[in-house]
Structure 1
Amino acid sequence: MKKTGPAKNVSRHKPSSPPDQLLADVAFAQIEEMIITRKLPPGSMISESQLAVEMEMGRTPVREALQRLRQIGFVETLPRRGTLVAGVDIRQQLELLEVRRPLEELVAQVAGVRATPEERTHLLKLAKEMMTAAERGDTKSWIRIGGEIHHAEVYATHNSMLITSMLPIHAQSRRFWYHHIVQNRAYVEGAQLHSNVLKAIAAGDGKRATAAVQELMQFIERFTRSALDTF
Structure 2
Amino acid sequence: MPGSAPSLAEQAYASIRDRLVMLEIRPGEPINEDWLSNDLGVGRTPIREALKRLESERLVVAFPRRGTFATDVHISDLAHISEVRRTLEPVATAAAAERATDAERIALTALREDLATTGDPGDNAGLLRKDLGLHRAIYRCVHNPFLEDTLVRYDNLATRIWCVFVPRLSGMAGHVHEHVPLLSAIIDGDADTAAELTREHVAGFERAIRALI
TM-score of the superposed pair, with normalisation by structure 2: 0.90
Deviations 1:34-86 (A, max 9, x none): 22233311111112122112211110000011111111111111121100111
Deviation at 1:135, TM superposition (A): 5.3
Letter in 1 for 2:52: Q
Return the structure number with greater relative CO, CA threshold 8 A, min gap 6.
Answer: 2
Q: Which of 58, 64, 68 in structure 2 is aligned with 1:83?
A: 68
Deviation at 1:221, TM superposition (A): 1.4
The reply on whether 1:109 has 2:94 as its aligned counterpart is yes
Size of the aligned set, in residue pairs, is 209
Aligned-residue RMSD, C-alpha:
1.8
**Residue 181 to residue 133, structure 1, CA distance change in 2 (3 Å):** farther
**Contact 2:22–2:159, Cα closer than 8 Å, also in 1:** no
SS, match of residue 156 in structure 2: helix
Q: Which residue of structure 1 aligns with residue 183 of structure 2?
A: 198
**What does 1:106-145 align with in structure 2 at a 5 Å threshold?**
106-133=91-118, 136-145=121-130
Q: Which residue of structure 1 aligns with residue 131 of structure 2?
A: 146
For 1:80 and 1:211, locate their aligned partners in 2 and report how far apart those are by CA, in whole Å. 48
SS, match of residue 95 in structure 2: helix
The reply on whether 1:26 has 2:11 as its aligned counterpart is yes
For 1:115 and 1:127, locate their aligned partners in 2 and report how far apart those are by CA, in whole Å. 15
TM-score of the superposed pair, with normalisation by structure 1: 0.84
Deviation at 1:121, TM superposition (A): 2.2
Query: Between the two proteins, what is the percent identity of the paired residues?
Result: 31
5+ unaligned residues in a row in structure 2: which ranges?
none
Deviation at 1:182, TM superposition (A): 3.0
Q: Which residue of structure 2 aligns with residue 52 of structure 1?
A: 37
Q: Which of 4, 18, 24 in structure 2 is aligned with 1:39?
A: 24
Q: Which residue of structure 2 aligns with residue 4 of structure 1?
A: none
Deviation at 1:137, TM superposition (A): 2.2
**Contact 1:135–1:187, Cα closer than 8 Å, also in 2:** no
Letter in 1 for 2:184: K
Who wins on radius of gyration, i.e. which is larger? 1
Q: Which residue of structure 2 aligns with residue 74 of structure 1?
A: 59
5+ unaligned residues in a row in structure 1: which ranges?
1-18
